[in-house]
């Protein structure tokens, strides 16, 4: 961008440019974050809403209750803005949420079989909140917690830091876990979610964001005609309660083969036992490449709007969930019902039930170690 165009753009945003002779201007580069009140919890704690804006990136609103992504506004190919994540218009929606509409899931995202695991010879009992299993950290998991928020300013503008200290024994998990999640925007359209955690005793940890996307816009029908490409050669088949059997099954010649772009709905109702168990896709895919490296995991294109979502992660797996349990009863922020398969989730993660599956990548965190996870959801337009 030329100097004068940048000044014009800053003027349009109501900012006063600082003119430095012969030097690049440094008024407010990068991301800006505005914070405002978002109501109070039942116990009277103040909740805030943070709006992240950056040229070239979606406008993203996040609350420190559960770290929910409340909205993500992005243009279609004609420039028309749409909100591509499901959610609620106010705090009451989020305090009553049972679908995890965009929150930070922990201490252990996804399922733990029979709500129990052993670590270093000791058995830990969790709450069973999904049939016999524990789901998403239990009934009072990280999604329901108030995170401490701080807006940090750096060379690239503002970032939102959310922190939550989970006490030893909370929801049955051992060790005091200090979790930090930093949300930021990139000028290439990426929402970056950077996770870290430490513990004062051995524990298990698996953090994710549970955003539900509909690239046509939240509440705009189903996602069955969205095209998905998954960078996965294998997935982890499940039993009838959605716990992995332990097998890594090649996707080749199954309805789980998304190595080339395919409409999500093309095979979703195929006569396949795995699809029956999930009521559609609700499975962990093994992301190609080395865990720890940020690499492309998935790409979704909605052809009518052109909106395109790419997901990158350092995690070994991604849960592809097609909103099979939505049933039209939840009404979203614009007043439209969220239909069955009205959204998809791409949840970066360690494989479900890893604490009970010695052959899966370990989810154990020990004192002195640092848990790290980074995920990027990048929005763009395919012409
Ligand atoms: C799970 C689904 C579950 C959903 C809850 C997903 O991560 O895999 O089975 O229904 O979260 O909203």
Other beta carbons within 10 angstroms of residue 330's beta carbon come to 18
Confirm if 54 and 190 have CB atoms less than 8 A apart: no
170 is catalytic: no
353 lines ligand 1 (CB under 6 A): no
pLDDT digits (tens, 9 = 90+) for 121-133: 999 999 999 999 9
Residue 196 beta carbon below 6 angstroms from any ligand 1 atom: no
Residue owning tokens 């004062």: 200
What pLDDT is stored for residue 29 in this prediction? 80
pLDDT at 283: 98
Q: What is the mean pLDDT of residues 155-167?
A: 97
**Of 136, 170, 171, 210, catalytic:** 210
279's tokens: 């009521």
Per-residue model confidence (pLDDT) at position 6: 44
Q: Span 176-183, mean pLDDT?
A: 98
Q: Average pLDDT in the 25-38 region?
A: 83
The pLDDT assigned to 28 comes to 60
112 forms bridges with which residues in the sheet?
A: 134
* Cβ atoms of 316 and 350 closer than 8 Å: yes
pLDDT for 139 equals 97
d(CA 281, CA 265): 10
Query: Residue range 66-87: average pLDDT?
Result: 98
Tokens of 333: 């922020």
Q: Is the CB of 302 under 6 A from ligand 1?
A: no
pLDDT recorded at residue 107: 98
Q: Quick one: what percent of the chain has pLDDT higher than 90?
A: 92
For range 66-72, the mean pLDDT? 98
283: left (phi over 0), alpha (psi -120 to 50) or beta: beta
The first and second tokens of residue 169, run together, are 């024994």
Question: Does position 15 have pLDDT exceeding 80, yes or no?
Answer: no
With a cut of 70, say whether residue 7 has pLDDT above it: no
> How many CB atoms lie under 10 A from the CB of residue 370?
9
* CA neighbor of 349 nearest in space, from 303, 299, 297: 297
């Amino acid at each position: 961008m030329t100097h004068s165009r940048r000044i014009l753009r800053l003027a349009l945003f109501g900012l006063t440019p600082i003119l430095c002779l012969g030097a690049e201007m440094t008024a407010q580069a990068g991301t800006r974050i505005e914070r405002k009140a978002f109501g109070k919890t039942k116990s009277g704690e103040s909740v805030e809403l943070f709006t992240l804006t950056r040229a070239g990136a979606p406008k993203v609103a996040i609350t420190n209750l559960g770290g929910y992504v409340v909205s993500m506004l992005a243009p279609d190919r004609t420039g028309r803005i749409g909100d591509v994540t499901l959610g609620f218009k106010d705090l009451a929606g989020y305090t009553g949420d049972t679908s995890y509409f965009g929150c930070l899931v922990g201490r252990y995202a996804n399922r733990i079989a029979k709500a129990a695991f052993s670590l270093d010879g000791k058995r830990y009992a969790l709450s069973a909140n999904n049939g016999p299993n524990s789901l998403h950290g239990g009934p009072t998991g990280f999604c329901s917690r108030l995170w401490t928020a701080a807006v940090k300013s750096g060379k690239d503008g503002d970032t939102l830091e959310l922190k939550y200290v989970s006490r030893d024994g909370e929801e049955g998990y051992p060790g005091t876990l200090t979790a930090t999640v930093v949300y930021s925007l990139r000028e290439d359209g990426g929402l970056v979610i950077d996770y870290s955690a430490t513990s004062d005793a051995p524990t298990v940890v698996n953090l994710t964001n549970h955003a539900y996307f509909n690239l046509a816009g939240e509440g705009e029908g189903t996602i069955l005609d969205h095209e998905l490409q998954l960078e996965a050669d294998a997935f982890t088949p499940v039993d009838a309660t959605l716990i992995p059997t332990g097998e890594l099954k090649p996707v080749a010649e199954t309805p789980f083969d998304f190595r080339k772009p395919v409409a999500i709905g093309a095979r979703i109702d195929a006569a396949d036992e795995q699809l029956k168990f999930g009521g559609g896709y609700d499975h962990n895919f093994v992301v190609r490449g080395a865990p720890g490296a940020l690499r492309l995991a998935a790409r979704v294109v909605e052809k009518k709007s052109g909106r395109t979502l790419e997901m990158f992660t350092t995690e070994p797996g991604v849960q592809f969930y097609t909103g099979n349990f939505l049933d039209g009863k939840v009404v979203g922020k614009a007043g439209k019902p969220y239909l069955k398969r009205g959204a998809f989730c791409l949840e970066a993660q360690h494989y479900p039930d890893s604490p009970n599956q010695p052959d899966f990548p370990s989810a154990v965190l020990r004192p002195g170690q640092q848990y790290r996870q980074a995920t990027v959801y990048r929005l763009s337009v395919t012409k």
